[in-house]
Structure 1
Amino acid sequence: MDTVVSFLSSTWNIILTIMAFSFIIFVHELGHYIMAVRAGVKVDKFYVGFDFGGLKIFSFNHKGTEYGIGVFPFGGYVKLYGMEELPGHEMEISEFSNEHFQSKTISERFGIMAGGVAMNFISAVLLIFIMYGIGKEYDVPIIGTVRGTPAIKAGLKENDKILELDGEKIKRFLDIHKVIVLSDPGKPLIMKIERGGVEKIISITPKMDYLRGMPSIGVTSQDSLIIASLVFDSPLLKAGVQLGDEIIRINGIKINYSYEFQKEVDANVGKDISISVNRDNKEIMLTFRPEPVKTYRSGLRNEAPVEISCVHPGSSAEKGMIREWDLIKSINGVEIKSYEELLESLKSTSGQAVDMQVMRKGELVNLNVKPTFDEKAQKYLLGISIDFSGNLESIREVEHNGPLHIAGLRSGDKIVSIAGNSVSTIPQLVNSLEGHYGKSVDISYLKKDDDSGKIFKSKIQLRYPGKPGIFTRLYHKSNVLVSGDGYIYDRFGMGVKFNRKFILAQPKPDSIAAASGFKVGDRLEEISYVHFLDGKKKTFPAEKIYRGWSSLDDHFKEFSNIYKYGKQYKGKVFDPKKHVVDVKFIRDGEVMSATISSKEIVVHDKGFSGVGYFANKKVLVKYSSIQEAFSLCYDEVVFILDMTAVTLGKLVVGKISTDTMSGPIGISTAMYHFSKSGYIELIWLVAMMSINIGFLNFLPFPPLDGGALFFLFIEKIKGSPVSANFQIVVSNLGVVLLLSLMFFVTVTDISRFFG
């Protein structure tokens, strides 16, 4: 029965997706149709969807016009009598019949071509009006987590409410995103916040996230206590808790935040807990017993420099005189070689001050720091952010004719300084490059084939990292086809890939890693395993393993979650205790191999309730008067137009990744997911897409409507039509470019769809 319901639900969502897409095209073509009929132009065909080769779902004729639905749903068109006959090409205007498109005045033809865009905007406004009449929920503008360096440096804290940003009133979390995306990275913004009932003014500087292609400050919206996901066969599910229930009290104590719930769960492992939940505006009392957290681990982890990328304002680290890019060497005389070892050392202090030794600009500095207990994390912390990118190794690959190649560096060379800064780790390299993209900087390096230790110097013209703009990327693609030279999309703006060395940290004596013979200093070369679903062997070299040795525990955790959350996957049962991984590594210059499995670890001071995740807190936006309705509609249309215009501009110049673009496949996929989220979300997406299509069609680019409007504008100024031959050449060129762009975004959609 559940399968049938799921099938019917998916089928209905697909139908909604097709209807939504068709609606956008229909209203656009309806705009052309209405204005054409109003001007007396004969309409030969009006189709929703394309009838390629005469293939159509149905059609009928009425007063000389063929109406129909084509078999290909993602499109549509209106065919006007004589529109393809360009003025000045074969006939004079006076010889056209009254029903001919070219017989009409410039104003009438302008109205016909602009009708589609106008209808897109009119329909969008009506949809937004309906949406806010019903009411739309948005994430609240309250900070849930603070992760990014800009937010940390600005002093933002969890539960801060954002009131204003860069002079704009903030009513929803989406407004924060809009201001940040439209801002200039590196330029400070004034933010008004409310903390504990008191308003404060702070300054925050967005930082460019080059891989995502947009500025960011690194915050998320606050979550609620409404359960959005429950784990299969978990304590809460057994107790009768349902999706959508809102936790009000636990053991009779009212709670406001999700971490308060988890704190009580951790403190009551193996004991009965009473909770009150709100279900359909009724308070229900339930009882459940948290289980100890169980996980599967191998005990393998990387030896990696604990390099501080950010010191949190007002933290223990700041008070203890710790600085950005300090490298933690030891605590209380014990050498620190990984972040896990740092946390273990802090835990053992029980909050007492520790003697810390750090490496700062090549010199050892002694500090005394007192850790602070973090209530949410339930750990002793320093108030620092760590970059886990690791050491800067030698160059593995250089893009031919890329910035680094032109500067003279080759595979095997090793960068030692750039832009006047010594670099020995990836974080130091990234930090040194910040602010220099698009400029020429000095670079020093060691050559692979030079054993003298001589440092060579050169200059490198950095480009912006990440993905370039549309035309630049198309140029690179064509260059690859012609010359065979690859293009390296990196986060350094140099066209480079570095070697990666994953060195094993000291395994714990009681771990599977130690029992399997692994030792500190082992260098990872390759891992392989037989996948339990298809029985095929999967092999990954070290450079393809994102987190090196630490990825082994990620792997065991992922597979054990399949076991824990369902025990059966695609009809096959997975037993984590029988799953093994073959590992190749280098020890003292010799290639060795070993087999490792995982060990079930029971964490008795960490409770498992079964909450997958809580939903974000929401604010309902709904108008209560006509004046408020107009205000909301106006603000929403301006918001979407701002985002569309700025995003398009940044795409063209390469400041936003082309991976953010979508064609029919990507748009349809988004519509399908929005349809599953409810009618309101789908209405919003259709309104947004309608405005996007209207805006893009208005651009003066043949063969879009804006191209025809542009020719009409020139005709109005010069008093005669633009040369037919010129229109044909420009339109054909525009068709080629538009088809190339459609091909590009379709390939991007397909690659995104299949991962």
Structure 2
Amino acid sequence: MDLTSFLIVAFLTGSAWLYVLMVVVGLGLIIFVHELGHFLVAKACGVKCEKFYLGFDIFGLRIARFRWGETEYGIGILPLGGYVKMLGQEDNPARLRQELERAKSAGLAPDAVISEEGVTVAAAQAALYDPRSYLAKSVPQRMAIISAGVIMNLIFAFIVAVIAFAIGVDEFPCTVGQVAPGEGAWRAGIEPGDRIIAINGRQTLRFQDIQQTIPLTRRGAEVTLTVERLARSEADQLEKRVFDVRIVPDRIRVIPTIGVSNAFTTELADPPCFPGSPAAGLGDRLKPGWKVVRINDRPIADYAELHRQWALTWGQPVDITLESPAGPETDQNKTKKVTLRLDPLAVRDLGLALEYGRIVAVQADSPAAQAGVQPGDELLAVECPADIDWSGDILELPYVLQQALRKRQGAEVPVVLSIRRSGEEEPASADSDMALKASAQRAPRGEKHTVIVPARLATTFAELYTPDSPWEIPQLGIAIEILPKVRAVRPKSAASEAGILPGDVILAAKTISPQANGQDGQTPAVESELDVRFDIPRGNNKATWATFFHEFQKFPPGTQVELVVRREKAKHEAQGDETNPEAASQELTVRLTPVVRHNWFFPDRQLLFQPMTFHMRASGLFRAVEMGASETWTSVTLIYRILNRLTRGDVSPRALVGPIGLVQTAYRVASQGTGRFLLFLTLLSANLAVVNFLPIPVLDGGHMVFLLYEAIRGKPPSEAVYVGLSYLGLAIILGIMLWVFGLDLGLIAR
């Protein structure tokens, strides 16, 4: 979404205009206090300030201006900062003196221009000799003026942080909501509902602690997470268990991750479900804010238990009991309860069975890990017991295994995996004992062999909430790469009717909404269509077939799928075109109407739940000051850590965000509450302070370096040095701006 579309949507959405106002005022305040620092200290030192502007009045273009005393105040047309124009500030003393001496020797008039920048003789004399000129002030005074903006930003960051904690901040706890299949947390066995209480021994409280620690780890470094889990004992009692897991963050995206999202409550969100799902059929009986308190005869205490029940009732209808929130609309503030029948989520199938490739990841302590399966192994074939009815589609296997395990009531379901050992040796597992036990079962690299894996009943399942997720088989504890190549086509299916053949390669896929394909417009619209490609390197719209298949299930009934497939021509058709691969293949575009399968279900019920939050509020003024100081210090050191990791190559420069992304993020945070928005301003103000004081010419830090040189040498740097470094600094800043704008606008793939 570009900035114009974003602002239009923002203004048309409820009270969003208020959030837009918060963003404009908040970002404007950060710039204002920075320039105010320069202005106040310059005035205190007796410097004449000619202009005070928010934004830049390039080519004389401005939104507003007025003059008060000797200073012109205004708002420039380019909202990328601000400036204070002081008499003599932007001129290099050494160069000015040389030009002024040449002008005097030539006998030039006071209004004669003596430089490319349009400086006149009179202006040069004023800049050098006027007692109110910036250049006429001592080096310590000029240092104070230059550093005042940074200091004001730090003061502002501290003040808004104190205010935030004084009024209270709704924060996300450091609890796991969803786990991405195949990623670090999944491999370590972390489950929804687990609370991460420490990272590398340092206590954590907010989910933000994960977001600020994991992405800044050194390449290849291991992170130790201390996890607290509430698990049910054999006596069906909740017991607290604390344990450590060691994870090396994945670098499969622009920043290192472990693959977890923030936690959820059991309270229904608004809207309470996806359109067209079985839950949507309950209509107004599903009310936002109502809480799921029971599934069948099982009490639901939290989201972790709810998630567990979804897995255990996979493919079965359930009775869910909802409880209303207590309030003035109920009798004597008592809650109401209602029990509803909720059908399982039937899969909308295309009739395609795709090839599978590598085993991307193996879960710790899983049946596959104990059988000696390794990440990177190539999966060649899968065989289930003869009494299990399975079509051979790997996407269907998790449901088939879960049903078989439920019917056998604890008896083993042996699954035979034919694999080829990967050519690269995997790094040692954190569970070294398990690795030693499995090592005897491992075949030499490159050889084919079979492994018998006893499937387990799944009590949890991963969510494919990232676009590049593999496909999880939780009963085995493996995540598999699904290749976009057709392995088989089910007879009389949508794919069969569209003419897709085994061997066809799927290059791209997108959804076509019911409105777009000419169907009845009564079906609720979705926010955006899925449109992905499988034939490009990882980028903005790179996705796996597993994720696409999973995500289009959330679209309304009537949604079609358009595929672009490549088909290899037969040899007699190619006729000597072996030197031209494009001539030996053809691309076809086909449109498929998914068919609802009533013998294949997903574990999720497509209900939407509110995020879990807690209220952080200082108990008094002194506590607010203490928390505000800690938050400011954390924000300042965070920026330095980011810069350090950027320079070391541990964090990709593609993770940077430009002005457009900054505004969008500010709007999103503003919608989460005033307290969170104030803490966001704390981070931004600290960011501006640190970045502006980097030793780059044209920034405040660069000016400070020139002043330090002048203090040591007793004279400013020469014209050649000053101009050369200034142009270098300007080139660096312009290069960074072009880069982040390219990222924001999608011109550079993240």
Q: Of the candidates 317, 325, 328, which is equivalent to residue 278 of structure 1?
A: 325
Partners of 1:737 and 1:548 in 2: CA distance = 31
Q: 1:123 deviation in Å?
A: 0.5
Task: Please tell me whether the aligned partners of residues 534 and 543 of structure 2 are also in contact (alpha carbons under 8 angstroms).
Answer: no
Q: What SS is found at the alignment partner of 2:359?
A: strand
1:2-401 matches, within 5 Å, as 6=12, 9-91=15-97, 96-147=129-180, 148-196=182-230, 200-212=242-254, 214-228=255-269, 229-230=271-272, 231-232=274-275, 235=280, 238-250=283-295, 254-258=299-303, 260-261=305-306, 263=309, 273-278=320-325, 283-291=335-343, 293=345, 296-305=348-357, 307-328=358-379, 329-332=381-384, 339-340=394-395, 342-343=397-398, 346-347=401-402, 349-350=404-405, 351-354=411-414, 356-359=416-419, 360=421, 361-377=445-461, 381-388=474-481, 390=483
Q: What SS is found at the alignment partner of 2:691?
A: helix
Q: 1:702 deviation in Å?
A: 1.0
Letter in 1 for 2:266: L
Q: Structure 1 residues 740 and 150, CA, compared in 2 at 3 Å: closer, same or farther?
A: closer
Partners of 1:713 and 1:626 in 2: CA distance = 40
Task: Please tell me whether the aligned partners of residues 526 and 541 of structure 1 are also in contact (alpha carbons under 8 angstroms).
Answer: yes
Deviations 1:495-551 (A, max 9, x none): xxxxxxx43223334533345555544455788998877789x99997369999995
Letter in 2 for 1:217: I
Q: 1:388 deviation in Å?
A: 0.9
Q: What SS is found at the alignment partner of 1:505?
A: strand
Q: Structure 1 residues 277 and 380, CA, compared in 2 at 3 Å: closer, same or farther?
A: farther
Q: 1:746 deviation in Å?
A: 1.7
Question: Partner residue of 1:671?
Answer: 666
Task: Please tell me whether the aligned partners of residues 249 and 277 of structure 1 are also in contact (alpha carbons under 8 angstroms).
Answer: no
Q: Tell me whether 291-300 or 700-709 shows the greater mean CA deviation.
A: 291-300
Q: Structure 1 residues 232 and 728, CA, compared in 2 at 3 Å: closer, same or farther?
A: same
1:560-639 matches, within 5 Å, as 562-564=555-557, 575-576=558-559, 585-586=567-568, 589=571, 597-603=592-598, 612-639=607-634
Q: What SS is found at the alignment partner of 2:486?
A: coil
Question: Partner residue of 2:729?
Answer: 734
Question: Partner residue of 2:486?
Answer: 504
1:514-529 matches, within 5 Å, as 514=496, 518-523=500-505
Task: Please tell me whether the aligned partners of residues 359 and 481 of structure 2 are also in contact (alpha carbons under 8 angstroms).
Answer: no
Partners of 2:370 and 2:636 in 1: CA distance = 46
Letter in 2 for 1:211: R
Partners of 1:241 and 1:40 in 2: CA distance = 68
Question: Partner residue of 2:740?
Answer: 745
Deviations 1:449-478 (A, max 9, x none): xxxxxxxxxxxxxxxxxxxxxxxxxxxxxx
Deviations 1:262-310 (A, max 9, x none): 74796897787541132658633235443553553221131223x3333
User: Does 1:680 pair with 2:689?
Assistant: no
Task: Please tell me whether the aligned partners of residues 506 and 563 of structure 2 are also in contact (alpha carbons under 8 angstroms).
Answer: no
Partners of 1:73 and 1:652 in 2: CA distance = 28
Letter in 1 for 2:324: V
Partners of 1:549 and 1:46 in 2: CA distance = 49
Question: Partner residue of 2:527?
Answer: none
Q: What SS is found at the alignment partner of 1:303?
A: strand
Partners of 2:547 and 2:626 in 1: CA distance = 52
Partners of 2:216 and 2:315 in 1: CA distance = 47
CA RMSD of aligned residues (A): 4.2
TM-score by length of 1: 0.72
Q: What SS is found at the alignment partner of 2:224?
A: strand
Question: Partner residue of 1:441?
Answer: none
Q: 1:69 deviation in Å?
A: 2.5
Give the share of equivalent positions with the same residue, in percent: 24
Deviations 1:391-436 (A, max 9, x none): xxxxxxxxxxxxxxxxxxxxxxxxxxxxxxxxxxxxxxxxxxxxxx
Q: Can you give the 5+ residue segments of structure 2 that lack an aligned partner in the other structure?
A: 1-8, 98-124, 231-238, 328-332, 406-410, 422-444, 463-471, 519-529, 574-584
Partners of 2:550 and 2:262 in 1: CA distance = 30
Q: 1:48 deviation in Å?
A: 1.8
Q: Structure 1 residues 289 and 181, CA, compared in 2 at 3 Å: closer, same or farther?
A: same
Q: Structure 1 residues 688 and 596, CA, compared in 2 at 3 Å: closer, same or farther?
A: closer
Partners of 1:224 and 1:528 in 2: CA distance = 32
Partners of 2:153 and 2:189 in 1: CA distance = 43
Partners of 1:304 and 1:242 in 2: CA distance = 41
Q: What SS is found at the alignment partner of 2:21?
A: helix
Task: Please tell me whether the aligned partners of residues 172 and 619 of structure 1 are also in contact (alpha carbons under 8 angstroms).
Answer: no
Q: Tell me whether 185-194 or 734-743 shows the greater mean CA deviation.
A: 185-194
Question: Partner residue of 1:472?
Answer: none
Question: Partner residue of 1:461?
Answer: none
User: Does 1:701 pair with 2:696?
Assistant: yes
Task: Please tell me whether the aligned partners of residues 51 and 71 of structure 2 are also in contact (alpha carbons under 8 angstroms).
Answer: yes
Paired residues, number: 627
Q: 1:732 deviation in Å?
A: 2.5
Q: 1:206 deviation in Å?
A: 2.2
Partners of 1:632 and 1:14 in 2: CA distance = 28
Task: Please tell me whether the aligned partners of residues 182 and 643 of structure 1 are also in contact (alpha carbons under 8 angstroms).
Answer: no
Q: Structure 1 residues 279 and 299, CA, compared in 2 at 3 Å: closer, same or farther?
A: farther
Q: Of the candidates 543, 555, 570, which is equivalent to residue 535 of structure 2?
A: 543
Q: 1:127 deviation in Å?
A: 0.7
Partners of 2:55 and 2:498 in 1: CA distance = 63
Deviations 1:45-83 (A, max 9, x none): 112222334333333322212222233333221111221
1:706-725 matches, within 5 Å, as 706-725=701-720
Deviations 1:302-336 (A, max 9, x none): 1223x333332222223334344444434258899
Partners of 1:632 and 1:528 in 2: CA distance = 48
Q: What SS is found at the alignment partner of 1:375?
A: coil
Letter in 1 for 2:418: V
Q: What SS is found at the alignment partner of 1:722?
A: coil
Partners of 1:73 and 1:549 in 2: CA distance = 36
Q: Structure 1 residues 666 and 548, CA, compared in 2 at 3 Å: closer, same or farther?
A: closer
Q: What SS is found at the alignment partner of 2:171?
A: strand
Task: Please tell me whether the aligned partners of residues 39 and 108 of structure 1 are also in contact (alpha carbons under 8 angstroms).
Answer: yes
User: Does 1:642 pair with 2:726?
Assistant: no
Q: Tell me whether 152-161 or 661-670 shows the greater mean CA deviation.
A: 152-161
User: Does 1:656 pair with 2:690?
Assistant: no
Partners of 1:256 and 1:224 in 2: CA distance = 10
Letter in 1 for 2:204: I
Letter in 1 for 2:481: F
Task: Please tell me whether the aligned partners of residues 52 and 84 of structure 2 are also in contact (alpha carbons under 8 angstroms).
Answer: yes
